[in-house]
């Protein structure tokens, strides 16, 4: 489906008027087409963060932040998390439809066949400094894949399909290898007899001398966590992937850039900061009320991590899934996590506080995912890596869509210049 033109609008500037088309998407959102604005009026729009700017038309993901809706290719994220494995959702995002049994089996075999990384790449891991952040290693190793595998030929669908498969399969292997490097253990190779999430958990927690049994509850939890992270429309990292790709950069470079964007504490790094915040509360005195007052104090730089979202003005649908998943995993491990108790108390008191109600500050996806990863045994510095593994199919779907879009242009925002006017360079001996 394409955008539907539904009406015309006019922009009036200095006794001139610009006729603009108004388009509507399939879910009813409307947009004014201002592509001729600068050419015909000399003006640009001023929109910091592009919060009111539609940079593209997309069929991948729909979000309604006011109603708390998130759908991939028309499917509600909760429905997908309940009934599908991550591999099926990855297939959906990239190919546009859920796989049947035969397609899923074939896709799973391809992912297993390409799960190994080039043996020479292992040398890279040995030269990273001890305690290097896994996200730094991940981004560098992903862009290095282009050195080990052929560059894509324009229009070669077979090569592109293989590159996509390699990316999805090898990213989890690179992630697990980076973790093993950080703790000084030898890498565990992927196995062809295990499914996607089982394989990752095995590479993370087994060793040549100790074979860890893979708990089905943990496998199910990881599948759901990756699904709820799989795409999120034109967020910071997806926009970076599209922007880098718009310059003609290959998929490896574009995804590497997306990983770097995701690393930021205001984006994918937020779940790590939630855990650090909860640990700080626990280690001090467990006083949640004091923390809430700090967050409300306009003179305090403190921010309540895991609350609020640029798009959602209601409860983040992913946070609902993560919250129940966290409880289920903790129940399966038969241990109490004091951080979960603090998180539940913090949520209850914040949602009852008018300050948070008036500002639509609800728990977001980061609030409970970090706790769940912690229960799975994933170390804190790997949380954002897990986010990247889940988000990869969405990044790829966005990149592929950008490549096929006839309206796609190289990303080149404008600006409003506020620096000095034209100046003359004076000889150095005359400068004050």
This prediction's pTM:
0.92
Query: Are residues 38 and 285 in contact, defined by beta-carbon separation less than 8 angstroms?
Result: no
- Beta-carbon contacts of 79 under 8 Å, excluding residues fewer than 6 positions away, are none
Rounded CA-CA distance 115/150 in Å is 17
Rounded CA-CA distance 185/187 in Å is 6
Measured distance between the N- and C-terminal CA atoms of the chain, rounded to whole angstroms: 64
Q: For residue 4, what are the CA distances in angstroms to 7, 54, 57?
A: 9, 15, 11
- Is 12 catalytic? The answer is no
Catalytic option among 156, 366, 405, 407: 366
- Tell me whether domains 4-64 and 77-413 share a fold: no
Which CATH fold topology does 4-64 show? Rubrerythrin, domain 2 (2.20.28)
Q: Beta 30-32 vs 75-76: how paired, if at all? A: unpaired
Concatenated DSSP letters for 57-111?
Answer: --SSEEEETTTTEEEETTEEHHHHHHH--HHHHHHHHHHSS---HHHHHHHHHHH
Burial of 313 (0-12, 13-18, 19+ CB in 10 A): middle
- Confidence (pLDDT) at 314: 87
In the chain, helix, strand, coil percent, each to 5?
55, 10, 40
Query: Are residues 195 and 85 in contact, defined by beta-carbon separation less than 8 angstroms?
Result: yes
Task: Quick: pLDDT tens for 241-275.
Answer: 999 999 999 999 999 999 999 998 888 888 888 89
Residue 158 has pLDDT above 80, yes or no: no
Query: Are residues 182 and 131 in contact, defined by beta-carbon separation less than 8 angstroms?
Result: yes
Question: Of 314, 422, 429, which is closest to residue 361 (Cα–Cα)?
Answer: 314
- Count the helices and strands in the chain (H runs, E runs): 18, 6
Catalytic option among 229, 231, 309, 316: 309
- Confidence (pLDDT) at 116: 92
- Is 287 catalytic? The answer is no
Task: Quick: pLDDT tens for 325-350.
Answer: 998 998 888 777 888 889 999 999 98
Task: Quick: pLDDT tens for 103-125.
Answer: 999 999 999 999 999 888 888 88
CB neighbours of residue 384 within 10 Å: 25
- Confidence (pLDDT) at 239: 97
CB neighbours of residue 422 within 10 Å: 4
Rounded CA-CA distance 254/244 in Å is 5
Pull the structure tokens for residue 57. Answer: 């038309």
Question: Of 299, 292, 300, 301, which is closest to residue 359 (Cα–Cα)?
Answer: 292
CATH of domain 77-413: 1.10.580.10
Domain locations along the chain: 4-64, 77-413
- Helix crossing, 134-148 with 157-183: angle to 10°? 140
Better-predicted residue by pLDDT, 269 or 93: 93
């Amino acid at each position: 489906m394409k955008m539907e033109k539904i009406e015309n609008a006019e922009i009036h500037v200095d006794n001139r008027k610009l006729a603009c088309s108004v388009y509507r998407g399939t879910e009813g959102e409307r947009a004014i087409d201002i592509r001729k604005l600068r050419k015909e009026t000399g003006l640009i729009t001023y929109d910091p963060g592009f919060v009111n700017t539609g940079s593209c038309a997309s069929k991948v993901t729909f979000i309604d932040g006011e109603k708390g809706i998130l759908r991939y290719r028309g499917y509600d994220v909760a429905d997908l998390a309940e009934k599908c494995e991550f591999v099926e959702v990855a297939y959906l995002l990239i190919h546009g439809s859920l796989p049947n049994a035969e397609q899923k089996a074939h896709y799973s075999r391809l992912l297993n066949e390409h799960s190994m990384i080039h043996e020479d790449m292992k040398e890279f891991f040995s030269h990273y400094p001890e305690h290097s952040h896994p996200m730094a290693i991940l981004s560098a190793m992903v862009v290095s894949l282009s050195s080990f595998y052929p560059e894509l030929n324009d229009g070669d669908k077979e090569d592109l399909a293989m590159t996509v498969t390699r990316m999805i399969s090898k990213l989890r292997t690179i992630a697990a290898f980076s973790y093993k490097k950080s703790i000084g253990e030898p890498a565990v190779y992927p196995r062809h007899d295990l499914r996607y999430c089982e394989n990752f958990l095995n590479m993370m927690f087994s060793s040549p001398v100790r074979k860890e049994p893979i708990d089905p509850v943990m496998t199910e939890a990881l599948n759901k966590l990756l699904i709820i992270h799989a795409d999120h429309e034109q967020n910071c990292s997806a926009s970076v992937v599209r922007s880098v790709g718009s310059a003609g950069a290959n998929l490896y470079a574009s995804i590497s850039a997306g990983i770097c964007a995701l690393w930021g504490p205001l984006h994918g790094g937020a779940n790590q900061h939630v855990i650090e915040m909860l640990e700080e509360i626990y280690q001090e005195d467990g006083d949640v009320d004091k923390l809430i007052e700090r967050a409300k104090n306009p003179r305090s730089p403190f921010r309540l991590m895991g609350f609020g979202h640029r798009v959602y003005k209601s409860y983040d649908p992913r946070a609902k899934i993560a919250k129940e998943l966290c409880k289920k995993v903790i129940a399966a491990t038969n241990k109490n996590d004091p951080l979960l108790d603090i998180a539940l108390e913090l949520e209850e008191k914040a949602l009852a506080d008018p300050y948070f109600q008036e500002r639509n500050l609800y728990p977001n996806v980061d609030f409970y995912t970090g706790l769940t990863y912690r229960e799975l045994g994933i170390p804190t510095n790997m949380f954002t890596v897990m986010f990247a593994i889940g988000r990869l199919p969405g990044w790829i779907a966005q990149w592929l869509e950008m490549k096929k879009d006839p309206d796609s242009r190289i990303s080149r925002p404008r600006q409003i210049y506020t620096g000095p006017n034209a100046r003359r360079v004076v000889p150095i001996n005359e400068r004050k």
